[in-house]
Structure 1
């Protein structure tokens, strides 16, 4: 089977973050399952030697992103048919992006199934997390794309229910497919001591003998980083050995720094900023507990995401403390493969950190269970397998159905 992986959003120079982990893992999973994958995007989406076709964005994207995204439909009209005629894929798998609706029309014209991965409703995302000018046009483009897609894959049941409510889609068209993890890269077999010896002396001195609690994220509103920052003071007041290791950067970093300064606890936190993705599992291997204090959305709606970092935590075989919002509460089972904290409750988070710091046997049991679930349920190969199974069923259907 041959699959065209189509990424239609603007891809800049940066190659870190959840979307790139997702793409890399999904493509690798498909390759493991024997699928021939070719890729098309504004820039290469993976470094593993997949055949790549460039479909460039307008160079003025940074100045007029919405206009450039709308215009990208015309670029796709010119270039996508040529790729289909040359490669003759059995199906197209596209990551849904703002204002782009042409791929579903082209796929229909060529009689090829379009499998649409939807990580969020862009009308909501742009309204709440970005700048939205052409709201009506964006809503219309999503309506067209969703209705015309052969099948849709969403990261959570929360998102599926919202799509059903807003777009009047048949339930059987939408398949829930949680994000995943590379269980070989994020593993419990990493030699933490060897990595520790490679660190700068300053970090070695700061972390030696400490009980490290790790966090990875883009410091967005939904990551709960302000909750984490507020938890530092009550944690270290009860256990001064605890030290927090924060990886990532983003909108709320300055707010986190202000909270830590006001509480006088900066010395108990190391903020590494952005680090190469290959180093993230090595830093996490140094930690005893990993934190996921996610929150529901600022507008009061339910958290609809499927945090890649949560599954990467699970792959590490570490004890996890997470807020059970949205899908997280379906993945982490309290005292089975992690501990659940109350949403936005920094005191509860602090108490659970101290609780785990005093119970090494419990940390080991929770970590082993999380690792087992990651391998059996949330490896990227399993994510790709769920897509492949749906695709194979669609290809067996008569064209008239």
Structure 2
């Protein structure tokens, strides 16, 4: 079926035509007809290790594995990746260098991609235009996935479709190509992991555990948890921070200087397969983003789907994160999630106190959040959204 779809394309090497300038956004692509249920997909994520421990790795790994259940997928990812069958030749370099190395990336991949004979090319924005170049070399259409405006102008202009979680950061002239999608979680990979041993280790006197998981860039706002810990006067609490990253040492020094090093515990980097146990061990889970520290979020608002929040909710834990329009689009505040004013430690402290002292509320919100995520925000559901978009461009 995939080869028949390939042969139906117009022959010849070309850049896909630039689309019209309408601003319409399609949020629900049409179902994929059965004739295209099997495709050959070249997936470009050159700077992402697969598998890996940070959010980008979680995203790419799960999308690749879900798509591979029904399609033949060639994944181009970072050198050193251990995912079986992946084309692991990409470099982890600064975006400016990544853009400058585009000709080298093309030379390193074009032969393998031509031999693969893709029906569609799916470019993660950090490939910076490699997708349209390979589309021209193979005659396949190209779909761009972007999280912000950092994608290449080449990608915005010459991709046949764009997928994102929001239209806010997509240039107006390309929004007619936009299809809104939602990120997901690997529920099966999270469930069934007991947190009993972690509770015994980190909360031996029965303390409540407030959990954070993820990396430590400044815009993740982890230092606000140190400020909450400094003036905490509620039930005995351990703030358990799981992960690593550029600002972790700063947050560690801050905890020591505030005198809360015993209350704020740094678990370090752990394999993603163990995250379910940490969530199971927690009483409450927090994603304390700081949008003012991220240029894109300051200008366009924080419009990403928060994967860590979805993971917390999938296991029935009360998730607490910042109050933004995007969060209110995804979740019902006080029914499926708890929200607080971004970068306001006093409001976060009050929200945490409410969650930790009201067991009935924790059970109610946790159960509603789990039902929502498991029914709507899974990687399987996201893969179906992508299949519908791929089907649109392949049919053209």
TM-score bucket (shorter structure): 0.7 to 0.9
Contact 1:6–1:40 under 8 Å retained in 2: yes
Mind listing any 5+ residue stretches in structure 2 that lack a counterpart? 1-37
2:255 to 260, 265, 284: 260
Q: 1:150 aligns with which of 160, 174, 180?
A: 160
Q: Determine the structure 2 residue equivalent to 1:134.
A: none
Aligned to 1:231: 228
Partner of 1:126: none
Equivalent position to 1:163, from 147, 154, 170: 170
**Which runs of 5 or more structure 1 residues have no equivalent in the other structure?**
124-141
CA distance in 1, matches of 2:148, 2:87: 26
One of 21, 26, 40 as aligned partner of 2:76: 40
Given candidates 279, 285, 292, the residue that maps to 1:284 is 279
Partner in structure 2 of residue 183 of structure 1? 187
5 Å matches for 1:53-72? 53-57=87-91, 65=94, 68-70=97-99, 72=101
Partner-residue secondary structure (3-state), 2:292: coil
Residue deviations 1:169-220 (CA, integer Å, cap 9, x gap)? 1x23112223211011223x43333x448x7xxx25x444111110012122
SS in 2 for 1:320: strand
Residues 12 and 53 of structure 1: is their aligned pair in 2 closer, same or farther, counting only changes over 3 Å? closer
Calculate the aligned-residue CA RMSD, in Å: 2.5
Q: Secondary structure of 2:171's match? A: helix
2:369 alignment partner, SS class: helix
Q: Secondary structure at the match of 1:41?
A: strand
Q: Deviations over 1:290-333 (max 9, x none)?
A: 00121223243222333221111111210111112353332232
Match of 1:18 in 2: 55
1:89 aligns with 118
Report 1:215-226 matches (<5 A). 215-226=212-223
Q: Distance in 2 between matches of 1:374 and 1:54?
A: 32
Partner Cα separation in structure 1 for residue 375 and residue 290 of structure 2: 27
Q: Distance in 2 between matches of 1:90 and 1:14?
A: 25
Alpha-carbon distance in 1 for matches of 2:228, 2:195: 26
Instruction: Note the 1:374-393 alignment, pairs <5 A.
Output: 374-393=373-392
Contact 1:219 1:248 in 2 (8 A): yes
**Cα distance, 1:84–1:7 mapped onto 2, change above 3 Å:** closer
Q: State the partner residue of 1:367.
A: 366
1:63-212 alignment runs, 5 A limit:
65=94, 68-70=97-99, 72-97=101-126, 100-122=128-150, 142-154=152-164, 156-157=165-166, 160-165=167-172, 168-169=173-174, 171-187=175-191, 189-193=192-196, 195-196=197-198, 203=201, 206-212=203-209
Instruction: State the 1:27 CA deviation.
Output: 1.5
What's the offset of the Cα at 1:254?
Answer: 3.6
- Is 1:44–1:54's contact at 8 Å kept on the other side of the alignment? yes
1:314–1:370 Cα contact (<8 Å) kept = yes
Query: 3-state SS of the aligned residue for 1:382?
Result: helix
The aligned residue for residue 314 of structure 2 is: 315
Quote the offset at 1:11 in angstroms: 4.6
Asked if 1 retains the 8 angstrom alpha-carbon contact of 2:161 and 2:177, the reply is yes
C-alpha displacement at 1:66, in angstroms? 5.9
Cα separation, partners in 2 of 1:31 and 1:44, compared to 1, 3 Å? farther
Structure 1 residue 304 corresponds to structure 2 residue 303: yes
Contact kept, 8 Å, 2:185 with 2:307, in 1: the verdict is yes
Deviation, structure 1 residue 285 = 0.8
Equivalent residues of 1:55, 1:75 under 8 A apart: no
CA contact (8 A) 2:190 2:276 kept: yes
Q: For residues 360-396 of structure 1, what are the alpha-carbon distances to aligned partners after superposition, in whole Å with 9 as ceiling and x for unaligned? A: 1211111111111111111001111101011112222
1:44 & 1:149 partners in 2: Cα distance?
28
